[in-house]
Amino acid sequence: MAYWEYWTPDGWQDNGGMSPRETARRSYREIKSFLQDKSVWPDIEPVEIYGEAVEEPDEFLWMDDGGDPIGSREELESAYVDEYVEKGTLVFKNESQKKFIEYREGLEKV
């Protein structure tokens, strides 16, 4: 999967403006379908054995100390998340905001 395209049995397709997570999910669905057609996908899904991979968060993530909350699943999926030495995990609404705050605050990634 690349940011601007996803894999299908017919070749790489333009993502049509999907977010990176949506593009990855589409690619994974296409790959799963392809492998099922070839009879190499397991009969039992890992989720049936282990349960869901992640839990829904109890509260929304914040951009910084006292920053604006990420208020929806769509905003969260398109957010830019990184971990920093002094601040821990920070979430930004877009890449330019992330770069600006990293520069202004002198943040060092973990």
Domain range summary for the chain, segments of one domain joined by +: 5-50, 56-110
pLDDT of residue 35: 92
Contact between 109 and 80 (Cβ < 8 Å): no
pLDDT of residue 62: 55
Does residue 64 register a pLDDT over 70?
A: no
CB hemisphere CA count around 85 (13 angstroms)? 6
Angle, CA 82 vertex, CA 55 and CA 57 arms, to 5°: 20
The shares of helix, strand and coil residues in the chain, as percent rounded to the nearest 5, are 35, 20, 45
Q: Please tell me which residue, 53 or 23, carries the higher pLDDT value.
A: 23
Q: Please tell me which residue, 33 or 80, carries the higher pLDDT value.
A: 33
How do 5-8 and 11-14 pair as beta strands? antiparallel
Cα separation of 21 and 27, whole Å?
10
Please provide the average confidence, as pLDDT, over all residues in the chain.
79
Report the length, in residues, of the chain.
110
**SS3 state of residue 83:** strand
